[in-house]
Chain A
Amino acid sequence: MVFMAKEETSRCYVYLNGKIIGFVENPVEYTKEIREARRKGQLSGEINIAYFKSLNAININTDKGRIRKPYIIVESGKSKLTPELSEKLKKKEIDFNYLLRNGIIEYLDAEEEENALVVFEHEDITPATTHMEVDVAAIFGFTINTSPFPEHNNIARHAMLANFTKQAEGMYSSNFNLRFDSRGYLLFYPQKPIATTTAYEKINIAHHPSGQNFVVALSTYYGYNMADAVVINKAAVQRGLGRSVFYKTYVDEERRYPGGQKDKFKIPPPTAEGYMGEHVYSKLSEDGTIEPETHADEGDALIGKVAPPRFLEENIGAGGLEEKMRDDSSVLKTGENGDIDSVIFTESTGATRIVKVRLRSLRVPEKGDKFASRHGQKGVVAMVTPEEDMPFTAEGIVPDLLLNPHSIPTRLTFGHLLEELAGKAGSVAGTTINGTAFAEKGSTRMEEYARMLETHGFDRNGEEVLYDGITGMPFKAKIFTGVVYYNRLYHMVSNKMQVRSRGKVQILTHQPTEGKARQGALRFGEMERDALIGYGASLLLKERLLDQSDKSSVLICKECGDIGYFDRIKRTAVCPICGNNSFSEVEISYAFKILLDEIKSLHIMPRIKLNV
């Protein structure tokens, strides 16, 4: 049926993996035939074929890397997944692979989907229908399907949810105690969500979950939870809510160098180059490593190591190499601290010794830590409120977290509200609630949760009379309270916060350093500069850009306008150009001095003329 390389526009091009292989006269029948062969098992199920009428082309794809999705085949208005087959499937007499082998379900790729007319449910099938979704929820991916009621949320929030799910702390691995991950976050008491989904159960995350069920009141709290801030209950935190541990592994290796020299793990001797002082190495034991279960603070050495000097000096004296040593220890950086969890010695493939030190640091939720629900609703803890100051219900239930109600309407995350209601209903009834997308239609779902709450003596809308913990007075409005599954995200202030008043400067420019690792300052950038100019605050501007930055004093020759220097031996200032000795001392930015130097390197002589 395929003709080789006979170019004719009336015939349809056939491309195999993007390469033209021939022409076909009856593209519709041709496509159909290949599809049927695939469904019968005569062709591989991994082949996808798509006919594009507008391009007059048939694309057959068999290569790797295509994203494909299973669909139930529908032929002449009838789903191939008959009720009998469904029954058998439920009894586990047949499985998914059986359906795949027998041409009941097939995988389509993005291109072949263009030829398909897919319906969601049996009732929607028309004679033109070609496929049916395996499940309506399958229009979402796995990440979104692990969150309950996703069909009630704005789709943009799902994109955020997908990101937050990656960042959630949980039990990332059950053998975490044997692992030396460079960074690991482990949540204490992880819980499985009350509002769960089919997909969540099927992929077994419930065995190592990454969050906890928080009692959430949708309420403001004296302005402490404005703009995505949240208030959490101190007593709940002390009971272990959101508590986690942070593991960090420090690795070092006894490297070998050309010339037979090698590093050595040991407490560096005071003679070593770059010796940082006795107190730094005080926690190291004989083998050069810190002992397990000792507390380490910033500036403490974890691994003591000496290395041969970087540059070979000419006169290696009688003392030999042993005495010429450079300190190359691993020291805890500023802001890092914790207990030593484990220390292991091992060997690399190159037969050099490796030491791994795992630092364990407890992370109790504090101001500035980040939490997120499964609806793209993130928040930063703004206050850890004592339990007695938190609002409480008549039963004495104190919420774990206070979420500002303003977070909901503009973001259109109504799934969050639904989960709160479902979570509450589930917790009073003692069951989990299935919140799979499209599982139940419309309001019947809400009606069910309302009924569950009512039978247990709660308000059917999930509202509670809350009393202000500070005044003891009931709030004027009833407050929506429920249970929401929250993830603790690994962005924590303790890993990020940094302070500087005075500090290091760069060698080249004499300006302050940048970045947390170098104890840097915050940049006063161009736009900030413009703002000060716009306000006319000239002295503040000078303070930021000169006095607090790279102010330096230079001598300007009164004769020639060049920069002079002070000769310490002769105790006079000298001009390198004219030899003159009369100068004016001027304060300029060091950056300007560099600019003048660079201009000089262009063979241009800049001269400074001073008034006065």
Chain B
Amino acid sequence: MAKSQQKARDFTVQYSEPVGILAAQSVGEPGTQMILRSFHFAGIESAIATSGLPRIVELVDAKKKPTTPLSTVYLEGAASKDIEQAEKIAKKINEVRMDSLIRRSVENFSKGTIKILLSKQELESEGLTPGQVSDKLAKLLKLDTSVEKNVITVKVHTKNLKDIRLTMVKISKAVINGIEGAGKAVVQTNPKTGEIYIVSAGSNIEGIITVSGIDKSRLYTNDVFAINRLFGIEAARNALARELQATLDEQKISVDFRHLLLIADAMTSTGTIKGVGRHGISGEKNSVFARAAYEETVKHLINAASFGETDHMRGVTENILVGKQIPIGTGSVKLAIKKEDMAKIKPK
């Protein structure tokens, strides 16, 4: 026991060990093997999530919105076993936009009306009636609507061509049912545990969390910014590392999770999520030379000059540039007392 504890202690990070470089190399090297093989399993999931290198780049660059946002919504109590209840909750989440219901629409500029023919099929599959749609439109956009069979007539009290067009655009964008930004919600079953859950192709977890019947403690999305907004930076940091690992795992690349945590830490340490590039971590280094060595050399030099910046030569890049020993590893050891001062110290 003591021996294994000692072993474990031997492998802890040493003082002045360049953990950042090690993390970068540990992710970067397997990353070169990823590029060419980015196939994924199609099928079960309603939307195929971005994977492989593009996903890593997306996470590391701190893109505000993922290319394929996905939310996983677990259900509370009986709903997690009952597919019908789950479907009901999914209906509440599933975002239905007006444009998906419209089969044809006619704008009458002389009368100032818009006639909308609704698709019967779409209405049926979403469980809506033309009356509901009409009411919702009237409520949402404060319009004068009337229904006749499948046709909704909207009276726009103006004959201004531009206004009619704008109204039509607003109508087609209106969210008739579900949560805005939640995307298409699909009920799925975990083949191992038999648990029923909902996957939606959107990342509006702020909206989804208001739906009753869901397990709020397990609500998850691949959009780290949404997690930051709802749960805070610590959760976002964990999500970031988790997403990175999930992407690497998918390609059967094993990287120690602590490297990924370090990257996530570096990206979130200021309280907001920052990319690693020029506009993120690298662009905010203390050293002028280190920044100038990375990108936009002249810009950094000129700005530094106009503010009269001083480079204290504490980082790696700037010390390599001038040819000093780097303050990492063996270079981090310094004399505490100068040789001449040693004489002044009297032994007791």
Nearest residue, chain A, Cβ from B22: A534
Q: Which residues of B contact A592 (CB under 8 A)?
A: 321-323
Chain B 314-325 interface 0/1 with A at a Cβ cutoff of 8 Å (1 = within): 001000111111
A539 touches B330 (CB 8 A): yes
A533 touches B321 (CB 8 A): no
A542 touches B324 (CB 8 A): yes
Q: Which residues of A contact B304 (CB under 8 A)?
A: 604
B17 touches A602 (CB 8 A): no
- Which among A210-218, A253-261, A583-591 touches the partner chain? A583-591
B25 touches A587 (CB 8 A): no
Q: Does A551 contact B (CB under 8 A)?
A: yes
Selected from A538, A546, A595, A602, the residue in CB contact (under 8 A) with B329 is: A538
Q: Which residues of B contact A604 (CB under 8 A)?
A: 301-302, 304-305
A536 touches B323 (CB 8 A): no
- Which residues of chain A in 537-566 are interfacial with respect to chain B, using CB atoms and an 8 Å cutoff? 537-539, 541-542, 545-546, 551
Query: In the bound complex, how far is the Cα of B328 from the Cα of A529, in angstroms?
Result: 13
B25 touches A589 (CB 8 A): no
Selected from B21, B302, B316, B323, the residue in CB contact (under 8 A) with A587 is: B323
Q: Which residues of A contact B321 (CB under 8 A)?
A: 589, 591-592, 595
Q: Which of A534, A537, A592, A605 has the most CB of B within 10 A?
A: A534
Q: Does B123 contact A (CB under 8 A)?
A: no
Q: Which residues of A contact B310 (CB under 8 A)?
A: 609
Query: In the bound complex, how far is the Cα of B324 from the Cα of A292, in angstroms?
Result: 57
Q: Does B77 contact A (CB under 8 A)?
A: no
- Which residues of chain A in 574-612 are interfacial with respect to chain B, using CB atoms and an 8 Å cutoff? 587-589, 591-592, 595, 599, 602, 604-605, 609
Nearest residue, chain B, Cβ from A595: B321
Selected from A530, A545, A587, A602, the residue in CB contact (under 8 A) with B298 is: A602
Q: Does A222 contact B (CB under 8 A)?
A: no
B21 touches A530 (CB 8 A): yes
Q: Does A311 contact B (CB under 8 A)?
A: no
Q: Does A96 contact B (CB under 8 A)?
A: no
Q: Given contacts A534-B18, A536-B16, are A541 and B326 in contact (CB under 8 A)? A: yes
Q: Does B43 contact A (CB under 8 A)?
A: no
Chain A 320-355 interface 0/1 with B at a Cβ cutoff of 8 Å (1 = within): 000000000000000000000000000000000000
- Nearest-neighbour CB distance to chain A for B26, whole angstroms, equals 9
- Which residues of chain B in 323-337 are interfacial with respect to chain A, using CB atoms and an 8 Å cutoff? 323-332
- Nearest-neighbour CB distance to chain B for A540, whole angstroms, equals 9
Selected from B25, B301, B302, B320, the residue in CB contact (under 8 A) with A545 is: B320
A589 touches B322 (CB 8 A): yes
Nearest residue, chain A, Cβ from B292: A595
Q: Which residues of B contact A530 (CB under 8 A)?
A: 21, 24-25
Q: Given contacts A542-B325, A589-B321, are A533 and B21 in contact (CB under 8 A)? A: yes
B323 touches A538 (CB 8 A): no
Q: Given contacts A541-B326, A591-B321, are A536 and B17 in contact (CB under 8 A)? A: yes
Query: In the bound complex, how far is the Cα of B18 from the Cα of A278, in angstroms?
Result: 57
- Nearest-neighbour CB distance to chain A for B245, whole angstroms, equals 21
Nearest residue, chain B, Cβ from A598: B301
Q: Which residues of A contact B305 (CB under 8 A)?
A: 602, 604-605
Query: In the bound complex, how far is the Cα of B317 from the Cα of A591, in angstroms?
Result: 13
B320 touches A541 (CB 8 A): yes
5 closest A-B pairs by CB = A536-B329, A538-B331, A589-B323, A546-B323, A604-B305
Contacts from B to A (Cβ < 8 Å):
16-18, 21-22, 24-25, 298, 301-302, 304-305, 310, 316, 320-332
The 20 sampled A-B contact pairs (Cβ below 8 Å) are A533-B18, A534-B25, A535-B329, A536-B17, A536-B329, A536-B331, A537-B329, A538-B328, A538-B329, A539-B330, A541-B320, A542-B331, A546-B323, A589-B323, A591-B321, A599-B301, A602-B301, A602-B305, A604-B301, A604-B304
